[in-house]
Structure 1
């Protein structure tokens, strides 16, 4: 340890005498105590003595210093008394820093002695309120005037204010009777606002009461009296622009975020001429609901997407009117089980018409029930995938349901797949018609004519391999063997000069060639005439469009121009023999002497066999054991149970109600409401006019 320097040595020796012994410090004890402490050796006793005498902090500090010589203990007190040297110094410094100018006396304030006054009685809030209630109670009675004339313009506001004043009056009475605020307000709320939330209305009554006590009246009710401003979304042009964008967007991609971005970036700048303005999503949602859109699950229903397309509606209008003409010559059914037959009135020589509809449906081996009775925690494991399938193609009439005579049936089973029976095409349909259905119909309906109805699908509208289809032709001649797929039949046309021309689409030509040895070889080659050759033989080859541009095979437009000379393919396709070309099914049906019709696209509600498929699927699911063998052996039983005569006739009646409504109404949604009216009202005869007059366009 380093030696002490002179300063530290002096500090250490300041309490020593000449002999080097520490000197005791003499302390004068005040007269506050007359007791002797010479014999006191216990530090705790001396300290407690000072505490009991309420000695000052200075005395306590002195006692602690005196005890050092007696006990040899430290002079530091056991508890902090706030009298340390540093604390005292800091307090003096802070006191000296106070400027005299900051005192109130510097600004002219003079301390004045408070005069003795008599104490006033202090009232509680509740007592003050009761006094105020007594003062205004009679004034409130003048405002309780019932509304005698409710026909005036602001009668609703007056009635509402009357109920508010009545609530306040009831609240005041209950308060004067001794109830507290909560009890009185709830009592008034139950009496006058029993249909509302009692807690909320009680709070409102207290608020009204406080306002009345202060203002002696209530402020006018402001609900519904704000200025009525219309949004720019009410504009018809804005609506059409947004709805057009909605239809262009795929349903799975539609969202409020996408629509809002389109409105903010496109609609607002184009119609309002401003940028950086946005429309709230809640506002957009509100208007979408008004415009017919809804955020809901995608449930199966009438397919409105293409359902109201212009070309579909135009075809539907003509088709439904033809159907109504056919129905005048058909049987209809009435009675609880549709057992009563209502026969048509026919003229001499007229044949009775019978609707015969066709459709296909596929049944799967693993298509079981989705809803099951399961115990808590039970998990029924089903087979993955739909399993093997059976496709059913069936023809039905309303009088027999599935047409059958013993083992002769209009129902055909087909096992689709590459490794099975292949895929269902129009050729299978033609085979079913020619070999089964037409003969079976003639046997069941002697002397009647069938109206065959098919879905408007590509398979049902397919052309035979011999049909005149311009899309199968090229512009120039090309080699075409007999084994090629398409073999056009010969055609007969009448030219503009009256000449009748029999025209073939093929010709043979002898081609000669030389081998390596120079020998000449010849062979007959079969050629398929191109569009140019066919038109040249008819003296109808123009070679250019209306603008003088040379013809191409196809102009690329899906629609034919009004002049029909936009390209070679469209021009030949507009010729009578190509325009009048019938599909393969239509040729078979009409060659047998019956009527061929296609349902409008997206209008499955007009085909009653769709309802029959639903019942058959239900039967199959109820008895599904997830084996193809069981499905195959029980398929006829499922279909026969779902296709009872009474059910089929009810399905037929519902489909004809849709057809009848379409012949009178132009909008699909309007038709749905009309058919609901049919279901709600019973008619003795189907032939009665059931369409309301206000829905009739004619």
Structure 2
């Protein structure tokens, strides 16, 4: 019959029983099999609604407990409980799968109040003022732009850093079913950090002959090259400006950085109300800004135990409303010469006598929005001379006639170099594993060089759609949806708002 031995044994047993007792006949179980409760459409609908209510916390136990509720049993005529195994089959039949959740567009923190304010009132106006003079590229690698105003063509250079690890290899591949398990190296292995500039016009920032480059290559770690500092960032920017000044003077170049602390570092002694005391320090005491101590050559000074030495310096001057300098320390000839004045005294000098009577700060400086005059620290914090303080990087760029723009926090989708990193890492993971540092550097640089200019322009096209979505006033989630739906268009259509309304995205 083409069946197995088990079937043959069962047939033999049935025949023997029939020979012993002619009244014995096997019963055909057809029609007596159990049916799944999910054939009841009302029950399936109720289970689906329940699973939607609990959101991400779906489990077989939750389904078991739901079907064990008295009101559910009475409504659907359920007489006995189901097992977790049955519940898992129900979940599978309803379209659920036990797997790792799919990752969509990163959107954490996009709608934080301070982030939205900076994006709408600082970043987007700066970008829109320059966008008309930028060259845009379609998905097919064709140049696109509308009416272009007079002036130099603007080239936007996006900056970022990426770390490659020696043991970072793809975990999936084709293996024979009988292949044995192989020992593997624990941990990520040695690392290599690469810092780059990229533009859709030229690709990686380098001279036409490739001999000069703004690329930074370092081995991060406490006992290796250390970590990226603000000085390293400024040195890289200066190298980039040297190349652009020499080889591409016919363009106007804009540097675009993210909101990393090393990019936002201000000069030592810059104005800040965060740590100021409210009153004049007691006799024999003074207040200053604690900074890292350096010797005459600019190198860090270390203590015998290996830690970095610290010292206190005076904070720089503020400004009155008319632009004249306001010293924060009492002048020579004053009984408390060179002593910090305190926030209350500084506010009184500015004519803010009522505000000087406020408390020093709200608890943990978490003032209830939209209050701007709830405490002395908040009042000073919002003064123009305290808010518009250029960073070290801005000073370096402005001195040489280059402009710098900071991306809004959390908005990595606006920086298409992130997609270049992802593409490079995919290529890098295809290489055979090696723990040698020179091999790691060779593979990483080869992966970066494998990205074509056409591919970079496609990445830029995707980021441009996100930029266009934010210009239209969409939030982070809506922008991700719009950029995905209109992936074939460089500019999002004006009918986008109607489409969002139809899709009920709020």
Q: Could you tell me the TM-score, scaled by structure 2's length?
A: 0.67
Map 1:87-126 onto structure 2 (within 5 A).
none
Rate the CA distance shift 1:303–1:693 in 2: closer, same or farther, 3 A.
closer
Rate the CA distance shift 1:408–1:584 in 2: closer, same or farther, 3 A.
same
SS at match of 1:362: strand
Among 355, 362, 368, which residue is 2:163 paired with? 362
Higher helix share: 1
Q: CA deviation at 1:657?
A: 1.4
Counterpart of 1:505 in structure 2 is: 328
SS at match of 1:654: helix
Q: Distance in 1 between matches of 2:472 and 2:145?
A: 24
Q: Distance in 1 between matches of 2:389 and 2:147?
A: 35
Among 431, 450, 474, which residue is 1:666 paired with? 474
Q: CA deviation at 1:655?
A: 0.9
Counterpart of 2:352 in structure 1 is: 540
Q: Does 1:656 find its partner at 2:464? A: yes
Show CA shifts across 1:40-81 (max 9, x none).
Answer: xxxxxxxxxxxxxxxxxxxxxxxxxxxxxxxxxxxxxxxxxx
Rate the CA distance shift 1:431–1:591 in 2: closer, same or farther, 3 A.
same
Q: Distance in 2 between matches of 1:554 and 1:677?
A: 45
Map 1:25-36 onto structure 2 (within 5 A).
none
Q: CA deviation at 1:203?
A: 12
Rate the CA distance shift 1:387–1:557 in 2: closer, same or farther, 3 A.
same
> What number of residue pairs does the alignment pair up?
413
Contact kept? 1:383, 1:626, Cα under 8 Å? no
Q: Distance in 1 between matches of 2:61 and 2:374?
A: 39
Counterpart of 1:417 in structure 2 is: 221
Counterpart of 1:384 in structure 2 is: 186
- Whose radius of gyration is greater, 1 or 2? 1
Q: Does 1:430 find its partner at 2:242? A: no
Q: Distance in 1 between matches of 2:34 and 2:340?
A: 93
SS at match of 1:460: helix
Rate the CA distance shift 1:448–1:560 in 2: closer, same or farther, 3 A.
farther
Counterpart of 1:330 in structure 2 is: 134
SS at match of 2:421: helix
Among 427, 430, 433, which residue is 1:619 paired with? 427
Contact kept? 1:357, 1:607, Cα under 8 Å? yes
Contact kept? 1:664, 1:696, Cα under 8 Å? no
Q: Distance in 2 between matches of 1:257 and 1:510?
A: 80
Contact kept? 1:363, 1:617, Cα under 8 Å? yes
Show CA shifts across 1:174-228 (max 9, x none).
Answer: xxxxxxxx9xxxxxxxxxxxxxxxx779999xxxxxxxxxxxxxxxxx98899x9
SS at match of 2:263: coil
Q: CA deviation at 1:335?
A: 7.5
Contact kept? 1:351, 1:447, Cα under 8 Å? yes
Rate the CA distance shift 1:544–1:494 in 2: closer, same or farther, 3 A.
closer
Among 74, 90, 109, which residue is 1:306 paired with? 109
Q: Distance in 2 between matches of 1:529 and 1:620?
A: 57
Contact kept? 1:555, 1:566, Cα under 8 Å? no
Q: CA deviation at 1:343?
A: 5.5
Q: CA deviation at 1:540?
A: 2.7
Counterpart of 2:245 in structure 1 is: 442
SS at match of 1:430: helix
Counterpart of 2:389 in structure 1 is: 581
Counterpart of 2:204 in structure 1 is: 402
SS at match of 1:671: helix
Rate the CA distance shift 1:201–1:374 in 2: closer, same or farther, 3 A.
same
Q: CA deviation at 1:558?
A: 2.0
Rate the CA distance shift 1:688–1:605 in 2: closer, same or farther, 3 A.
closer
Q: CA deviation at 1:636?
A: 2.5
Contact kept? 1:359, 1:609, Cα under 8 Å? yes
Q: Distance in 2 between matches of 1:309 and 1:537?
A: 35
Contact kept? 1:531, 1:569, Cα under 8 Å? yes
Counterpart of 1:610 in structure 2 is: 418
Among 166, 172, 181, which residue is 1:371 paired with? 172
Contact kept? 1:565, 1:571, Cα under 8 Å? yes
Q: CA deviation at 1:667?
A: 4.2
SS at match of 2:232: helix
Contact kept? 2:138, 2:458, Cα under 8 Å? no
Q: Distance in 2 between matches of 1:343 and 1:507?
A: 57
Q: CA deviation at 1:471?
A: 1.2
Map 1:15-34 onto structure 2 (within 5 A).
none
Contact kept? 1:401, 1:645, Cα under 8 Å? yes
Among 277, 302, 313, which residue is 1:474 paired with? 277
Map 1:71-150 onto structure 2 (within 5 A).
none
Rate the CA distance shift 1:574–1:671 in 2: closer, same or farther, 3 A.
closer
Q: CA deviation at 1:401?
A: 0.9
Show CA shifts across 1:631-650 (max 9, x none).
Answer: 134433221113x2111111
Show CA shifts across 1:568-624 (max 9, x none).
Answer: 211111211112223333343344444433323333222111111112212322224
Contact kept? 2:288, 2:312, Cα under 8 Å? no
Q: CA deviation at 1:541?
A: 4.0
SS at match of 1:446: coil
Contact kept? 1:665, 1:696, Cα under 8 Å? no
Contact kept? 1:333, 1:341, Cα under 8 Å? yes
Highest relative contact order (Cα 8 Å, sep 6+), 1 or 2?
Answer: 2
Q: Could you tell me the TM-score, scaled by structure 1's length?
A: 0.51
Rate the CA distance shift 1:490–1:306 in 2: closer, same or farther, 3 A.
closer
Q: Does 1:489 find its partner at 2:301? A: no
Contact kept? 2:191, 2:219, Cα under 8 Å? yes
Rate the CA distance shift 1:534–1:313 in 2: closer, same or farther, 3 A.
closer
SS at match of 1:694: helix
Among 234, 239, 263, which residue is 1:460 paired with? 263
Contact kept? 1:661, 1:674, Cα under 8 Å? yes
Contact kept? 1:452, 1:596, Cα under 8 Å? yes
Q: CA deviation at 1:507?
A: 4.9
Q: Distance in 1 between matches of 2:499 and 2:434?
A: 50
Cα-Cα RMSD: 4.5
Q: Distance in 1 between matches of 2:112 and 2:468?
A: 20
SS at match of 1:346: coil
SS at match of 2:196: strand
